Amino acid sequence: MHVMLTASVTAAQRSAAAGALLACAPLLAQAQSSPFMTGATALQTNILAWLTPIAVILVMALGAMAMANRLSWGWCIGAILGIAIAFGAPQIVIWVRGMFGV
């Protein structure tokens, strides 16, 4: 039982295949992430892992100082702003990039 295969591919079929391949090329390029973004994400995760227990200890120390009546409100405001900036940094970057259209 022999099946006769035709090896004739028309120019229209070739151009359609090339067009489909070129249409998928940007999607393939976007699927790869840059080494900078991989490193920056790893650094951000590492810093947040270190800052979490430090922030907890800082809040505990501020509470102990407040109970002993040895606390300036400037320290509390500074600690709250520092924690908010440290843990909200990704959202702040997205917001600033959105403002400038980057």
Answer whether residue 88 shows pLDDT above 60.
yes
Q: Give the model's pLDDT for residue 35.
A: 87
3-state secondary structure of 72: coil
Name the band, by pLDDT with cuts 50, 70 and 90, for residue 5. Answer: low
Indicate whether 59 belongs to any domain. yes
Name the band, by pLDDT with cuts 50, 70 and 90, for residue 12. Answer: low
Query: Comparing C-alpha atoms, which of 76, 98, 92 is closest to residue 44?
Result: 92
Tell me if the pTM is above 0.75: no
Calculate what percentage of the chain has a pLDDT beyond 90.
Answer: 50
Q: Output 21 or 83, whichever has higher pLDDT.
A: 83
Distance CA(67)–CA(44), nearest Å, equals: 34
Number of domains in the chain: 1
Indicate whether 65 belongs to any domain. yes
Q: Give the model's pLDDT for residue 84.
A: 94
Indicate whether 57 belongs to any domain. yes
